[in-house]
Structure 1
Amino acid sequence: MSLAAETRRAVEAHPFLVTALRAGVANYTAAARFLSGDESDAATGVGESSDSVAEIDGDIDAIATALRRYAEELPAQTHDARDVSVRMESSIGTVDDPGSALVTVGGTAFGSNGGDLTAIYATGAVDAAALAATLESLAVAKIEPVAAAVGNETLIVIVERREGANAVRTVEAALERVPSTE
């Protein structure tokens, strides 16, 4: 396999790198070090290589060049304009009757029952990409969902009650900048 093909394979195994390359914000040399397993500080000689197994065996400059060429072939990062409405409902908890559930994930049904959870709903133009962007944004905000799902033009995220207001703002912001899947 050529170094270019090996680099593409390694980048595609790390979706955050594809996103950074598409957005034009990747440092090619740092990304090449990451992909080769050599994450030491080349300028000062300080640091040690990563304990992880190297993905690409090759010269850092050659890998960086392959990354630069790959980035030039990727479509630019764009964002979909989505018509979405976001709202929140408190007093959510687990329910025994799946028929009364707002959402069931992994056999656990969540519904309105006076519980200590909050449901964040987004209705409209939502899909798996919207859910992924939402979950990434919640992770950055250090909000850990109890459950999340998307289907039939509805995205729902269940969070702890005290996180409800922050979760609504985070979901709204995430849905304003969902990357296009094209």
Structure 2
Amino acid sequence: MSIFGFDPRVERHLIADEGEVIIDEVRKHWAATVGPMLEMAAAIPVLLLLAWLPSGAYWLPLFLALFLVLHGMWRMLAVQMDRFVVTNMRVFRVHGILSQRIATMPIARILDISVYKPLIGRVFGYGHFIFESAAQDQGLREIRFVGSPNERGATIQRVIQRSGLRGPARAARPAPTDFDPNETAEMPWWRAG
């Protein structure tokens, strides 16, 4: 669902001729809109100030209420236009309203993904991704308000595994069992005593 018809249209940024496909398109969790909604709701008490102010100062609460509503709507639109995309080749983030910013990280450069879930995020089902990559400075470090972060993290790990960048998981080698404590006479010197 897009607000006022605004949509970042992430499919425009795919490298289709190389076979890139979207695995997961992540919208911000609804908890990211709580701050902007509270800001817009704050316009109501500001308008109630009209009853106590002198008649010549009516413009001040009206201007302040209008500002709170417009700024809250702008922030809501910014949340709507912020997308995190996992493809079979890379992860990228598209955000911005009038001008768009795109940050990309190839799957091969992802070294580690940390998931931070604050207490309120654990209750409502969101968390924040923190990417560690081989690069010192990167444009894609933290993705905030990711819904179902455990499942999304597993999806990224599956994409990394399927890309063949990391070898298959191996079972630990069992310890050699050729040592018999009763045969001390033929025991090598490094195993003795």
Query: Where on the TM-score scale, by shorter chain, does this alignment land: which range?
Result: under 0.3
Choose 1 or 2 for highest CA Rg: 2
Please, what TM-score do these two structures have when normalized by structure 2? Answer: 0.22
Please, what TM-score do these two structures have when normalized by structure 1? Answer: 0.23
